[in-house]
Chain A
């Protein structure tokens, strides 16, 4: 060996994941721009109010229009699902494997990215609700009721926490779906069919599906919800990693 020989480097997994995570965060800012667009759209759709009920007599008709930022949160759920599927596609994978990566580091940095996306998405979705309140205040201030208008910090924080938990779960599901599609294109047909079937069974109150539904959506304790969601999310991510570990890339 000559003196000018290049020596082999011994990379650590953690180091590689960290580098990839930062690289992805930098390179995928556009996805957060999409989140912004989706939330602003949700806000605009919410300006007209969610539902309205009224009462009238000979002289007076009073209606109460209910406003809510639920739509913004739903839109954010949808956004993170699309993002999670998107980053499993060949285009994004290709970007990963341009520089140093193996399957595990690629998945772990993706998971890190999605967790970050869930936290940012959760905070912004809930705070968009506050922004919506301010906008509505100025549009129709004189006839707003103060109920639920200014929410106590602990209530907002609870909302943020629950939203983040849902976003984590949905991103894990989206990622899993994306990985399945990468494994076999058959899943492009199977997954939507499965989804429609589930919704259909849910409507028919099939006990198993209702149980799964109640497991998360029926949970009223934040701590229990967190435990359930975190364990489920971790399991789904683990499955995705194991399934995709033998995938060929580029």
Chain B
């Protein structure tokens, strides 16, 4: 037995107290003056409602479930480690499994200096990789790469929000994506079931963080400078 948290004990006791009060209230008070017939139909109605619920639950549209609606990955895919940082070290994004393009942009650019700023400043460490193209084609290409966040074998990449990238004069502003919070719900089998049939392991599959990276391809004649840390890679 693990040691019991006193707070839990107090909460439990409070619950029990409420429960006793409810039972005594129902037994001793007004409800008892309810006509026998009314009591009977109340209880019969409740039991009928409960008996109907296994039928009703079968009729609920299943496509609404998160794991039906959203793509599921196989357990094997989990172990394809997509490490975006290898890109910063020079690996080609296309060659890394599990990495995908979340968003891309193209800006015509004729200047010779490009200042990359990251917003919000100080709060956000964007990973920015810059590759100089062979030619001076007057175009800045920006790609938002990402790796999949996987929870309970659900591929949450669909709901990932990309960065915002905008060019204003000679300033390329990279804004962090809005922060997403998702609460999934899952049922655990009742303890009376798991005593006989065993526990269904909820956390059997490990969860994977998703990550993002901005990959900039700039014309050969553009100098890039930034107050944020920018990784420069050579085209392979």
Contacts and interface: CB of A to CB of B under 8 A. Distances in A.
Direct A–B contact in the complex, CB atoms closer than 8 angstroms? yes
A229 to B, nearest CB: 12
Nearest to B149: A60
B51 A127 contact: yes
Contacts of B42: 33, 36
Interface string A209-233: 0000000010111100100000000
Contacts of B56: 134
A105 B64 CA distance: 55
Given A59-B161, A163-B192, A30 B60 contact: no
Nearest to A139: B185
A66 B210 contact: no
A132 to B, nearest CB: 9
B136 interface: no
Contacts of A38: 19, 22-23
A59 B185 contact: no
Nearest to A221: B196
Given A62-B207, A69-B190, 10 more contacts: A30-B26, A32-B43, A57-B149, A59-B161, A127-B50, A127-B53, A133-B187, A145-B67, A146-B62, A149-B65
B36 interface: yes
A187 interface: no
Contacts of B36: 26, 29
B176 interface: yes
Contacts of A144: 64-66, 184-186
Interface of B: 1, 3-4, 15-16, 18-20, 22-23, 26-27, 31-32, 34, 36, 39-40, 42-43, 46-47, 49-51, 53-54, 56-58, 60, 62, 64-69, 124-125, 149, 151-152, 154, 156, 159-161, 176-177, 179-193, 195-198, 200, 202-203, 207, 209-212
A195 interface: no
5 contacts: A30-B31, A60-B156, A134-B56, A143-B184, A144-B64
Contact of A203 (B3, B198, B207): B3
Contacts of A73: 190-192
A73 B202 CA distance: 21
B58 to A, nearest CB: 7
B134 to A, nearest CB: 33
Contacts of A120: 47
Nearest to A124: B50
A137 B65 CA distance: 9
Interface stretch (A6-14, A151-159, A237-245): A151-159
B83 to A, nearest CB: 14
Contact of B67 (A41, A70, A146): A146
B64 A141 contact: yes
Interface in A58-107: 58-70, 73, 75, 78-79, 82-83, 86
A115 interface: no
Contact of A64 (B27, B32, B69, B152): B152
A62 B58 CA distance: 28
Contacts of B203: 53
A61 to B, nearest CB: 5
B184 A155 contact: no
A236 interface: no
A41 B210 contact: no
A20 B60 CA distance: 44
A62 B185 contact: no
Contacts of A82: 20, 23
Contact of A162 (B19, B68, B196): B196
Contacts of B151: 55, 62, 64
Contact of A59 (B15, B180, B196): B180
A129 B190 contact: yes
A158 B197 contact: yes
A131 B184 CA distance: 19
Contacts of B58: 150
Contact of B195 (A63, A133, A162): A162
Contacts of A155: 189, 193, 197
A49 interface: yes
A130 B50 contact: yes
A148 B64 CA distance: 15
B187 A68 contact: yes
